[in-house]
């Protein structure tokens, strides 16, 4: 009966190629929509919070912004009130001794311990420290290892043939926590590059 109606009112049935084209277009639009929604969820998980501070101090201390975002994401999940079981606090998770080494001995600013919670202070000093470590080692993996395990510890590894690769890098890291830390930051940095733009720096993973 439906066919008779179409004939009676002279309604043309779409050709097979047209139907295929419509189906493909709908599929493409649905795929685009799903991808857009998924990207939105990913950006919620990898946000650019405190972007004013991150962009400012990344430029000031000449480090890639996505590296700084990745470290904050890994360290505190962008929670300025975060406190670790070891006593590290703030966005960049500063321990008291590291914080006062930077403020008192390196920058001569003598800030109070409570300033570790201040978002701008934490981002600024974290950016300074990452820049200092990268300048010292010339390798982001080693710099990240030092951010996590400490300069003295990493210097010791670099002097040990069991860990050093002989070219200023590390072929193995004995601390599981530090190995995992580098992997997390590297993954986060790559995710920021993918979600927000072209790669700004290469954070190489290392053989563990």
Instruction: From the candidates 55, 75, 120, 200, give the one annotated as an active-site residue.
Output: 75
Cα–Cα distance measured from residue 8 to residue 187, given in angstroms and rounded to the nearest whole number:
64
Is residue 75 part of the annotated active site? The answer reads: yes
Cα–Cα distance measured from residue 80 to residue 122, given in angstroms and rounded to the nearest whole number:
9
Catalytic residue list: 75
């Amino acid at each position: 009966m439906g066919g008779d109606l179409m004939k009676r009112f002279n309604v043309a049935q779409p050709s097979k190629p047209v139907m295929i084209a419509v189906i493909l277009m709908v599929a493409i639009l649905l795929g685009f929509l799903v991808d857009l929604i998924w990207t939105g969820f990913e950006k919620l998980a990898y946000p650019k919070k405190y972007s004013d501070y991150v962009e400012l101090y990344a430029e000031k201390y000449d480090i890639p912004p996505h590296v700084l975002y990745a470290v904050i994401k890994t360290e505190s999940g962008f929670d300025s009130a975060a406190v670790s079981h070891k006593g590290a606090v703030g966005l960049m998770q500063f321990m008291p001794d590291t914080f006062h080494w930077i403020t008192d001995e390196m920058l001569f600013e003598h800030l109070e311990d409570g300033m570790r919670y201040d978002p701008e202070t934490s981002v600024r000093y974290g950016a300074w420290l990452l820049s200092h470590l990268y300048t010292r080692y010339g390798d982001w993996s080693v710099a990240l290892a030092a951010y996590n395990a400490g300069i003295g510890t990493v210097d010791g590894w670099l002097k040990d043939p069991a860990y050093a690769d002989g070219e200023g890098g590390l072929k193995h890291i004995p601390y599981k926590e530090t190995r995992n830390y580098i992997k997390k930051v590297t993954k986060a940095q790559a995710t920021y590059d993918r979600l927000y733009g072209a790669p700004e720096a290469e954070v190489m993973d290392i053989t563990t």
